[in-house]
Structures are given as C-alpha cells and as structure tokens.
Structure 1
Amino acid sequence: MNLAKLCATRAAQGRPVTAGLIGAGKFGSMFLAQVPHVEGLEVAAIADLDPERARAACREVGWGESRIAATRFVANGAELAATDGVEVVIEATGHPRAGIRHAQAAIDAGRHVVMVNVEADVLAGPVLARRAAQAGVVYSMAFGDQPALVCEMVDWAQSNGFRVVAAGKGTKYLPAYHEVTPDAVWEHYGLTAEEARTAGMNPQMFNSFLDGTKSAIEAAAIANATGLSVPDDGLAFPPCGTDDLAHVLRPREVGGLLDRPGMVEVVSSLERDGRPVFRDLRWGVYVVIEAQSDYAAACFRQYGLPTDATGRYAAMYRPFHMIGLELATSVLSAALRGEATGAPVGFHASVAAIAKRDLGPGDRLDGEGGYTVWGRVMPAKRAARDEVLPIGLAQGITLRRAVAKGEALRFADVEIAEDEAVRLYRDCLALAGTSGAHRGA
C-alpha cells in the first residue's frame, strides 16, 4: 500500500499522522502549503523564534483561521519536541547547534526526526541516527532536498545490481565564488540589495549556496548516507550538462575525471568563462552507473539511456527538486513505514572551514556563507587525522593565531568550548572509516 493510502486509512480511523515543525522559514513554509492537501496529515505544533512570524507564514501559504487556531505555536524547539501528540519532529532551522539540540530532545521524547537541517546532519548525524535507532525511532533526511533525492537514486541503482560510479547534484558555480561575501552576493542572483531585503532574503544564507559551502555540506551528507567517497581535495565542480554526465563522471582510467569509482561530485551549470553549459542540471540530481555485463550495456542502448562512448556507463537524472513541497514523503515514511528517506550509515565525509582571506588572532568567525570562511568537503579520516575545524562549528568563535587565505582551520587555531555539538562531532570522528560499507565499487 502506498503512503497516500496508508495515510488516508489512518485518517479514516481517526488517527492522523501528526507532525511538529521547528523553523517556519522557506523550507518549512513550503511544507505547510501542502499539508491541507494531504489526507491524514496534520501539523500539531510549530516552533519559531518569532511565533507571530510563524502564524503569518501559515496565512501566507493559505491556511484558514480554524487550522491556525488548532495549531500550537511556541518559541522553543525543545519544547515542541516534547509536545504530546507529535509523532514526527521536523527540524528546519538551519542552525547546526540548535538542530542537534532539537533532534536529541525529539529522540529522548520518542519522536521520529526528519532533519531538514543538513548542517546539523553532517556535524552529528551519524551519532544521532544511532541514538534514534537505539530509541526505536526514525532519523531521516528530508525528501525534496537534493541529498535525500540522490540517496533514492543510489538505492535504486544498487537495488537493481548496477555499479554506482558517481552521484550528486548540480549547482551554479565558478572558482571565484569561494571568495564572495554577503556584501556582493545579490549581483550573482540578478537582484538588488533592496529587492532582496523586501523579499526577506538572508544574504549570508544565499551566499552559502554561491560560495560552494552548501554544495560541500550536501556532498558530505550524501557520502555519509550512501557510503560513497568524496574527492580527496574537495569538489571539482566540473562544468557538465545532462548529456555529458556519463562521459565526464567516470573513472580517470577510462577518460573521465574521477580518481576512483563510487564518488560524490557536484557539477556546475557554468563553463569556466561564465557561459551556461548545454542542458544544465542546476536544480537537479544524478547518478552515473556502470553495466556489470555486456548484456546490460546492450540494454542501455536499446532503451535509450544516455551513455558514454563505450556504452558501459549510463546516467540517470532528475532535473529539479521541490524542497518543502515534497517533505511530506519523509514525514509519512517515518510515521507509517518506520523508514527513513536516507540516513547516515557512517562518517565518511566532513566539511572543513577554509579561510576566505588572511585571518589573524582575535578575528571572530561568522560561519557558513559569511565573510571569514567557506566550506570544503574532505574525507572524514583526513579531518580526524588533521583535527580540522568543521564549518558547522566555525561561527561565533575567535581565532588564536593567524591562518592564511585558502588554508583549512584546525581546532588548535581557535578558542572553542567543549559543548554538546563539539562532543558529538568528536564521536562522529571516532566512527570515521569504521562503519557503513563503501557500496560504490
């Protein structure tokens, strides 16, 4: 029985699936817009630092006053996580430390967790997923966001006996974007600062998409959930359209750019001179597979799959993702099937904080998308060996010593308290390379 029918059956029994949303931003609002149209799904509570803003968001997406009146609005995410009648807690704040606190509170209260907050997931997800399993609840990535969609494609490929050569997403990228700060972000989106302010757009958040940090975070999440590896020196962001995926994203030994099969990579929708690539994948996701036999390779050709010149490597892709509009899939899967739409199986990748400019003692780091650092994905073993500071902890802390532009920051470079987020990250480092199978090769 599919999720919609399972949910409708529960509704007919007077037991709708009940969710609690933490963070009424764009992702959360898109989810709220669909809730009235999913039979058997209810939102019992919404937590936001500004509950009135959350109420306004509900009105903006079309909720009636009776639905709003029946919903509990609170300012504290941990309070929501413990609210009676909530089955599934959706963490959509985007703040790593807050996300970790809220997820742990939900697990302690016996609630399923859907982690929209990828920043928190790459910092502590492997440990949180283990704790959730021990508590008998689901810890899940968010369907509609690119990492969970990639996980679905990888699972499809592996379930059908194909070798996964590469998997990932598309984005808009040029090498110079690593240095962009919030002051210059809007010109890259074709907006004025005033237009962005009027629309309520956060320049630091949007800059994290532009400067490569968000792509690194999402690549790490994919690696940790699939067992695929990440490039040793960070994402290459090769310019690549959908027609060229199977040619570009294959091992170097057969003419591609990958160091080895079974890797996560993000492709760019722009050539190095800034021109768009043909049939770009800016909003989409992909998987490149290899036929395990001549017969399967022949079938690729017979059924129209886009392949490389050898015919053995083929690409499947989805040209879009709909973020919060698709989130109910994760909520219903957790509540009705007890299944995650992607979850960490190990700690294979971390995201290092890299200096955007020369930094000196006393400089205060401002985190993802800011003025001081950007995020570069790296193998977790290397992050553990070099005691590299992850981007998720590189906010609101002060440098002890100088770090040159382009260098990775280390724990020894900063003043940082040993709080719960730091402890969970160190617990993840202890798992590096010891859990979850590499299933690409």
Structure 2
Amino acid sequence: MTRTPVRVALTGARGGFGRTFLAQLRSIDRMTATQLIDPDVDGVRTLIADLGGLPDAEPIPGHDDVRWDEIDVLVEASGRVEAGYRYAAEAISRGIHVVMVSKEIESVAGVSLANAARERGVGYLPGDGDQPANLLRLLDWVEKVGLHVVALGKSGEYDLVFDPATGILDQQGERIDASGLGDHLFLADDIDETLAARAAIVAPLKRAAAADSCEMAVVSLYSGATADTERMHYPVARPSELADIYARRSDGGLIGTDRAVDVFSALRLPGETSFAGGVFTIVTTGDDEVWGLLAGKGHIVSRSGEYACIYWPYHFMGVETPLTIDAVTSGSTPFAEPRHHTVLAARASEALAAGTTFEVRGHHHEIAGVRPVIIDRADALSDTDDALTAAYYLLSGARLVRDVAEGDLIRISDLEGVADDVRAAFVEGVRL
C-alpha cells in the first residue's frame, strides 16, 4: 500500500530543475519533499524560504547524512555521474523507488540501474518534464494508434529568432547579423540547398550541445531508435517545415533510416510561438482525404502530403515530474526496459596527449577535447571490457593513459581514474 503523502528526497535541489519541481509539490497533497540533498545547504535554505517554506523539507549536505529509511522516492537530479549513480544505486538496494532526471547518469548506467530495480522490485523511470520522457510518451501514443514513425526528436534549447526588419538573429541574447537569412525563410524545392544556406549564415552561433546528444541517447535506450548520423543533422528549421525536412532521403528529406532520432534549431520570427524545446515525431500518412482534412485544421503535413509532424511544443521540467512519482509508486511501467541499442560515446575533436584530464563543465555539461557521438551498440562492443568504447560521461574526472589521435573514439582502456562502480555499471549495461 502506498504511503500518503509520499516522502520524496531530491538530489541537486539547488538547481533550476529543483526549483520547478519543489514549487509544484506545494500544490500536491499526495506527496511531500523531505530531504533536499545538495552541498549548497545555505542555497537550499534560501530556496525553501523563497518558496514560502516547505513544511517537511530539510537541507542535507551529502550522502553520509541521508536518512534512507525516511524516503519513499528518490528524484536524482544532481547531474553528477559518480555521486548521482551512487545515490540511485543505494536507493534501489534499500527498496526505494528512483525517478532519474540526470540524463548523464542514465546514458552511462541507466540499463544497469533499471535492471537492479526490477530485481529488487522497485520502480525506476526517467522523469517526466524533460525531453527524453516526454518524447517517449509521445512516441508511445503515436505508435499505439498505428502510425509509422520516420523520425523523432526535439528542438534545441534556444530558438533562433530572426527579425527581417533589422537582419539581426538572436539566440538567447547572442546576436549576429544574418540579413541573408531573409532570402531563405521558406524552403526551396531543393531542401538541402535551403538548409545549407541557413547553416552557413548561422555558423557563428553554437547550436549543438552535449545535452542534446545525451537526451537522444536516453530516448534510444527505451525506444530502440538510432541516430541517422552520429552527430545528428541539426537543421535550421521552422516548425511548419518539419514534415518536409524529416522526410526520407528518397523523398527529398534528411532521413536514411526510419525511427531516427534528431535535433533541430527552431527558427522563428519575433512574436511567433516558440517550440520551447519541445518534442516531435514525423510519420507517414495514409488516406489522402484524411490528411488533407487534418492539414486544413492546421496540422503540419508535408507539401507532398506523404508525411506529417505530430509534436508537443513544451517541456515543463519539474512541473511534470510528479506524474513520474505517481507512476513509480503505483507500479506503472509506461516504457520498455532500457537497453543499449546505441552508446553515447566520445570522439576526440583534436589530438589528445597522454595525461589529459577530462572535466564536465558548463550549463550543457560538455567535455573539452571530445565531442559526443551516438554510435550503434555493435560498434562499441569488443571481446574484452577494457577495449569497449567508453560512454561520453564515463570520462568525467578520468585521465588519458595514452595519446589519442583526432577523430578516434575513446575506449575504456585509454582511461584511468574511472570510478570502479560506475565503470562496472556501464559495462554490465552495454553487455546486457
């Protein structure tokens, strides 16, 4: 029988996700935030005060201070692979449900953690509110109604907002002169030509992020979808164009393999509705009359009428996560068991010398010297564990023991300083 209210512990409580989640819990009587785990204890106290108080919440500085017997559900949102993995693994071992928000941990150890949870008889799910779980829910709906999926994915975190009157393009406060974009606001008959022109104009902006690749790798774990190209396409696209752009290559689009994950940079004009980092699927249509009727009602259908875009233009972060807490405490399993159909790997973006130490930095949790790539599981495997291709976030805090040439994938044998338990979790997961 589920305890009421459900006692929820949260790691990474001081972060942006923590704020959105805790603010929402104030309105939900069936669950309560109790232990808020974060090294920034003073910051957590300030957060509690800013929210007008959380009656059961207590700041907890770290692992050694957690009272595990007073937790029903752990929401892991630290974003730190080694620490977060240990919080989740210990919670599962103690019979505590886990909602995994840290996509970095999911991409490395999600398969192992889900397997351990199943054996222990507790719930383990990716958290609603971030793009992976949202996209998986959308994909489930789309495929259950019998639609065939050609592509699925999300928009990048920040829109490209172009003002034709000034020629200025703004991406989250970074502004460039993009006056030439006015000539490419609409798709030409040759889609590749338009996309290449747009990409050249916006080239000064950083559009791809490790977080994007990580999120799509997590979607792959639960869906079996793979990347059409290891770095993904990242077209600069207006949402109304998605059904044309993500058509199969044989029909003039980008996609070479069905059920391909991808990310696009959302282009819009000032005042137009944002895609808001939302998620999409591209499906093939059937009856022309049906889809003509739907196009007339404003749904996105390709110029050929052969493809349609079904999308959710939102991800509300912690506002939605209580839905996942309901699911794990009720025993609901909305997704398939995760498996490594792909691996989020690290490819050297420059020649790297032995002794190089890797560190996860910045808002997008990126690692200097390597780029994230989504590769097929078969290409990551080897006869020995040490020769396995390393997961991207397995590099966190690790050091190279040999030189690595530009363009090479980093292997586990190239590294020292990888935490034994995290390494073992990855190896177990990728070999399952």
Query: With structure 2 as the length reference, what TM-score do the two structures score?
Result: 0.80
Letter in 2 for 1:18: R
Change (3 A) 1:259 1:79: farther
| Cα shift readout 1:41-95 (whole Å, capped 9, x = no counterpart) | 211222112333222221123325xx1xx33332234753x52232111001001
Any gaps of 5 or more consecutive residues in structure 1?
A: 1-9, 175-186, 192-208, 432-441
1:74 aligns with 2:60: yes
Question: How many Å separate the matches in 2 of 1:357 and 1:211?
Answer: 18
Check the 8 A contact 1:29/1:57 in 2, yes or no. Answer: yes
Change (3 A) 1:355 1:190: farther
Letter in 1 for 2:220: A
What is the SS of the residue equivalent to 2:328?
Answer: helix
Task: Tell me the CA shift for residue 332 of structure 1.
Answer: 2.0
Question: How many Å separate the matches in 2 of 1:154 and 1:38?
Answer: 28
Change (3 A) 1:171 1:78: farther
Q: Which residue of 2 aligns with 1:62?
A: 52
| Cα shift readout 1:3-56 (whole Å, capped 9, x = no counterpart) | xxxxxxx8xxx8212211111121112111111111222112221123332222
Supply the RMSD in Å over aligned alpha carbons: 2.9
Check the 8 A contact 2:68/2:91 in 1, yes or no. Answer: no
Task: Tell me the CA shift for residue 148 of structure 1.
Answer: 0.8
Q: Which residue of 1 aligns with 2:230?
A: 233
Task: Tell me the CA shift for residue 303 of structure 1.
Answer: 4.6
Question: How many Å separate the matches in 2 of 1:342 and 1:58?
Answer: 33
Change (3 A) 1:267 1:210: closer
Check the 8 A contact 1:86/1:111 in 2, yes or no. Answer: yes
Q: Which residue of 2 aligns with 1:200?
A: none
Letter in 2 for 1:19: V
Q: Which residue of 1 aligns with 2:321?
A: 327
Residue 149 (structure 2) aligned to one of 160, 164, 177? 164
1:289 aligns with 2:290: no
Residue 360 (structure 1) aligned to one of 353, 368, 371? 353
Question: How many Å separate the matches in 2 of 1:29 and 1:280?
Answer: 22
1:410 aligns with 2:411: yes
What is the SS of the residue equivalent to 2:227?
Answer: coil
Q: Which residue of 2 aligns with 1:178?
A: none
Counting aligned pairs with the same residue, the percent is: 28
What is the SS of the residue equivalent to 1:256?
Answer: coil
Q: Which residue of 2 aligns with 1:52?
A: 42
| Cα shift readout 1:282-324 (whole Å, capped 9, x = no counterpart) | 5211111223555654554465421112323111112221112
Structure whose residues are more often strand by fraction = 2
Task: Tell me the CA shift for residue 358 of structure 1.
Answer: 2.7
Task: Tell me the CA shift for residue 216 of structure 1.
Answer: 0.6
Task: Tell me the CA shift for residue 334 of structure 1.
Answer: 1.8
Q: How does 1:91-110 map to 2 (within 5 A)?
A: 91-110=76-95
1:33 aligns with 2:23: yes
Question: How many Å separate the matches in 1 of 2:334 and 2:405?
Answer: 40
Letter in 2 for 1:23: G
Check the 8 A contact 2:397/2:418 in 1, yes or no. Answer: no
Letter in 1 for 2:370: V
Check the 8 A contact 2:10/2:33 in 1, yes or no. Answer: yes
Change (3 A) 1:419 1:218: same
Query: With structure 1 as the length reference, what TM-score do the two structures score?
Result: 0.79
Change (3 A) 1:340 1:416: same
| Cα shift readout 1:330-386 (whole Å, capped 9, x = no counterpart) | 112222x32256565321121112334332111111134243333222222212257
| Cα shift readout 1:375-411 (whole Å, capped 9, x = no counterpart) | 2222222122573222111122221222234432222
| Cα shift readout 1:243-300 (whole Å, capped 9, x = no counterpart) | 01111112112221111111111112369xxx99x87635211111223555654554
Q: Which residue of 1 aligns with 2:188?
A: none
Aligned residues: 381
Question: How many Å separate the matches in 2 of 1:384 and 1:123?
Answer: 14
1:263 aligns with 2:260: yes
Q: Which residue of 1 aligns with 2:192?
A: none
Question: How many Å separate the matches in 1 of 2:39 and 2:265?
Answer: 35
Task: Tell me the CA shift for residue 415 of structure 1.
Answer: 2.4
